[in-house]
């Protein structure tokens, strides 16, 4: 799924394939119940190298899942106790790239061409 975000608020979601349609539908339903779920409260870098893959199920330790060279970021939505739930959407296989094209975090693969500052790029 791709989220369009402006000033930390999710403005639009779209599925990139059939598998993502149910996730989009669920998040949009949560937005209808409580618009505060549109706010991205946290972006975290997973640095726990002891976990080689996320644990099955709903586990707090998955928030820090990093794996060696995996580049797992997570996005936190919902702010307990103000919302009923706090969601962490974990995105393994993410690279954070500097202005000059160097890998700052993540996969460490041969990098893409240099990008202008502020241009978001996610590698899966």
Question: Is the separation of the CB atoms in 23 and 1 below 8 Å?
Answer: yes
Please tell me whether residues 23 and 60 are part of one structural domain. Answer: no
pLDDT band at 115 (very low <50, low <70, confident <90, very high): very low
CA dihedral 124, 30, 44, 99 (to 10 degrees): 50
Cis peptide before 81 (omega within 30 of 0): yes
Q: What is the pLDDT of residues 33-83, one digit of tens each?
A: 999 999 999 998 888 878 777 888 877 877 888 766 677 888 999 988 899
Q: Give residue 124's pLDDT.
A: 42
Please tell me whether residues 49 and 94 are part of one structural domain. Answer: yes
Q: What's the structural domain count of the chain? A: 2
Q: Is pLDDT at 98 greater than 70 in this prediction? A: yes
Please tell me whether residues 32 and 57 are part of one structural domain. Answer: no
Measured between alpha carbons, how far is 81 from 64 in angstroms, rounded to an integer? 21
Domain interval for residue 9: 1-38
| Residue of 90 and 123 predicted with greater confidence | 90
Please tell me whether residues 24 and 81 are part of one structural domain. Answer: no
Please tell me whether residues 57 and 24 are part of one structural domain. Answer: no
Please tell me whether residues 48 and 15 are part of one structural domain. Answer: no
Give SS3 for 31: helix
Q: How far is CA 68 from the centre of its chain?
A: 18
Please tell me whether residues 97 and 47 are part of one structural domain. Answer: yes
Please tell me whether residues 120 and 69 are part of one structural domain. Answer: yes
Measured between alpha carbons, how far is 86 from 79 in angstroms, rounded to an integer? 6
User: CB within 8 A of 103, min separation 6: which ones?
Assistant: 95, 96, 97, 109, 111
Mean pLDDT of 89-116: 70
Residue 14's H or E segment, with its range, is: strand 9-14
- Which of 33, 35, 10, 11 minimizes the C-alpha distance to 89? 10
| pTM greater than 0.85 | no
Please tell me whether residues 118 and 87 are part of one structural domain. Answer: yes
Q: Give residue 39's pLDDT.
A: 96
């Amino acid at each position: 799924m791709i989220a369009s975000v402006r000033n930390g608020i999710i403005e639009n979601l779209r599925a990139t394939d059939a598998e993502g349609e149910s996730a989009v539908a669920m998040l949009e339903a949560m937005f209808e119940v409580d618009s505060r779920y549109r706010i991205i409260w946290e972006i975290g870098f997973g640095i726990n190298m002891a976990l080689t893959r996320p644990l099955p199920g709903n586990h707090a330790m998955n928030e820090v899942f990093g794996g060696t060279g995996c580049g797992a970021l997570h996005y936190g939505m919902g702010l307990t106790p103000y919302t009923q739930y706090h969601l962490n959407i974990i995105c393994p296989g993410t690279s954070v790239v500097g202005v000059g094209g160097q890998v700052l975090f993540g996969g460490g693969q041969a990098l893409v061409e240099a990008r202008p500052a502020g241009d978001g790029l996610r590698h899966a």
